[in-house]
């Protein structure tokens, strides 16, 4: 039922044009033949009317309101569709900007249509002040979150900090891609395929990592421990070569390897290299480089040790605690 009323208020582009044309032809025909005045006098008679407070409401008045309502919103729908088509064709404007402009134009068109309808119906527009006060109270209490999410969505579109296709990491560690921006929420698809509807307010009030905000480059990190008896210079050379030879590794900035610490069981290195497009994933190049390091370490006799402890027992400790025998 809801879809039926929406289709009446905002029909499809081709349907709106044909319905508007048919309505105008029908009205012009009735007016030209004199039948419009006959219909008006009949439906506006006291037989089809009643008094509501200081207003006299007749069947003609009701039909007039319905017809004007439909016609005005059909015209608004047609203008809105034309504007949306023109804005969408602006290839030099970013998608988020096009969405923002489209929403603003549509809101303005339908607001003007509503005000025009009130004016045609001879409704005193000063009565809207009462409605505006009630709406303000509603926003302050029941619609506070909805209004906050709506305003946050507009801020995101204006700032262009979160756009469709961006790769994000939320404050709780959830990562994924922005698939669609809505007035109240943003559709977020995680790496494992789950679709989450995240309120727009969360992107404003929480810390969000945007991996693709200014570019799609990202750094991959590999931590490697080498035994103390191995050739450390050779180990570093192997790690740099493994990263440089990977097809997704960038030459600028080049891979870099650092000796980080002398651990309990190993000498710890960290290898950094960059990939051009983080949206294609970081785990695969990281895994490939680690496999190559493992193979080259085995070929060159470099060991990756496992944690171990040496226990030394002194004879003096045994002499101080002799076993008692009976």
- Asked if pLDDT for residue 197 goes beyond 70, the answer is yes
Q: Report the pLDDT value the prediction gives residue 33, as an integer from 0 to 100.
A: 77
| More confident: 86 or 2 | 86
At residue 185 the predicted structure's pLDDT band, cuts being 50, 70 and 90, is: confident
Q: Report the pLDDT value the prediction gives residue 184, as an integer from 0 to 100.
A: 79
Q: Report the pLDDT value the prediction gives residue 2, as an integer from 0 to 100.
A: 46
User: What does the alpha-carbon distance between residue 58 and residue 47 come to, in Å, rounded to a whole number?
Assistant: 9
- Asked if pLDDT for residue 209 goes beyond 80, the answer is yes
Q: Report the pLDDT value the prediction gives residue 112, as an integer from 0 to 100.
A: 83
What are 6-26's pLDDT values in tens digits?
455 555 555 656 666 777 777
What are 211-267's pLDDT values in tens digits?
988 889 999 999 999 999 899 999 999 999 999 999 999 999 999 999 999 988 899
Q: Report the pLDDT value the prediction gives residue 319, as an integer from 0 to 100.
A: 59
Q: Which two tokens stand for residue 62?
A: 């009701």
DSSP H helical ranges for 121-185: 128-140, 144-159
Write down the pTM of the prediction. Answer: 0.57
Q: Report the pLDDT value the prediction gives residue 236, as an integer from 0 to 100.
A: 95
Angle at 274 between CA 208 and CA 305, to 5 degrees: 100
Greatest mean pLDDT among 78-87, 212-221, 304-313 lies in 212-221
What are 125-184's pLDDT values in tens digits?
565 566 666 666 665 666 677 778 878 887 887 777 888 889 999 988 889 999 887 777
- Asked if pLDDT for residue 84 goes beyond 80, the answer is no
Q: Report the pLDDT value the prediction gives residue 41, as an integer from 0 to 100.
A: 75
Q: Report the pLDDT value the prediction gives residue 300, as an integer from 0 to 100.
A: 93
Q: How far from the centroid of its chain's Cα atoms is residue 323's Cα? A: 73
What are 38-82's pLDDT values in tens digits?
777 777 777 767 766 566 667 777 777 777 777 777 777 778 778
Residue pair 115/125 in contact (Cβ under 8 Å)? The answer is: yes
Q: Report the pLDDT value the prediction gives residue 262, as an integer from 0 to 100.
A: 93
Listed in sequence order, the residues at least 6 apart from 289 whose beta carbon sits closer than 8 Å to its beta carbon are 220, 222, 242, 243, 246, 249, 271, 273
Q: Report the pLDDT value the prediction gives residue 100, as an integer from 0 to 100.
A: 67
Q: Report the pLDDT value the prediction gives residue 161, as an integer from 0 to 100.
A: 83
| Burial of 17: CB neighbours in 10 Å, binned 0-12, 13-18, 19+ | middle
| More confident: 210 or 142 | 210
Q: Which two tokens stand for residue 138?
A: 């509603």
């Amino acid at each position: 039922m809801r879809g039926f009323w929406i289709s009446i208020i905002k029909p499809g582009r081709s349907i709106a044009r044909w319905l508007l044309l048919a309505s105008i032809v029908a009205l012009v025909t009735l007016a030209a033949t004199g039948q419009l005045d006959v219909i008006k006098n009949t439906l506006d008679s006291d037989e089809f009317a009643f008094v509501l407070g200081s207003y006299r409401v007749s069947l003609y008045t009701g039909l007039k309101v319905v017809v004007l309502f439909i016609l005005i919103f059909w015209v608004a729908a047609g203008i809105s569709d034309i504007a949306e088509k023109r804005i969408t064709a602006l290839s030099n404007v970013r998608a988020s900007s096009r969405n923002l402009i489209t929403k603003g134009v549509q809101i303005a068109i339908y607001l003007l249509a509503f005000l025009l309808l009130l004016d045609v119906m001879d409704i005193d527009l000063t009565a809207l002040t009462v409605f505006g006060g009630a709406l303000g109270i509603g926003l302050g209490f029941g619609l506070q979150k909805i209004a906050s999410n709506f305003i946050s969505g507009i801020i995101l579109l204006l700032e262009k900090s979160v756009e469709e296709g961006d790769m994000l990491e939320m404050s709780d560690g959830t990562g994924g891609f922005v698939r669609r921006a809505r007035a109240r929420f943003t559709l977020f698809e995680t790496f494992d395929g789950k679709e989450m509807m995240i309120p727009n307010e969360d992107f404003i009030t929480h810390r969000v990592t945007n991996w693709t905000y200014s570019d799609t480059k990202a750094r991959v990190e590999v931590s490697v421990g080498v035994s103390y008896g191995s050739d450390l210079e050779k180990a570093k050379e192997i790690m740099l070569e493994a990263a440089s030879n990977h097809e997704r590794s960038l030459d600028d900035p080049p891979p870099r390897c650092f000796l980080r610490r002398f651990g309990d069981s190993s000498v710890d290195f960290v290898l950094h290299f960059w990939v051009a497009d983080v949206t294609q994933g970081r785990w695969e190049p990281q895994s490939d480089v680690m496999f190559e390091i493992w193979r080259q370490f085995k070929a060159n006799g470099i060991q990756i040790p496992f944690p171990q402890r040496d226990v030394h027992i002194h004879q003096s400790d045994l002499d101080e605690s002799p076993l008692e025998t009976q």
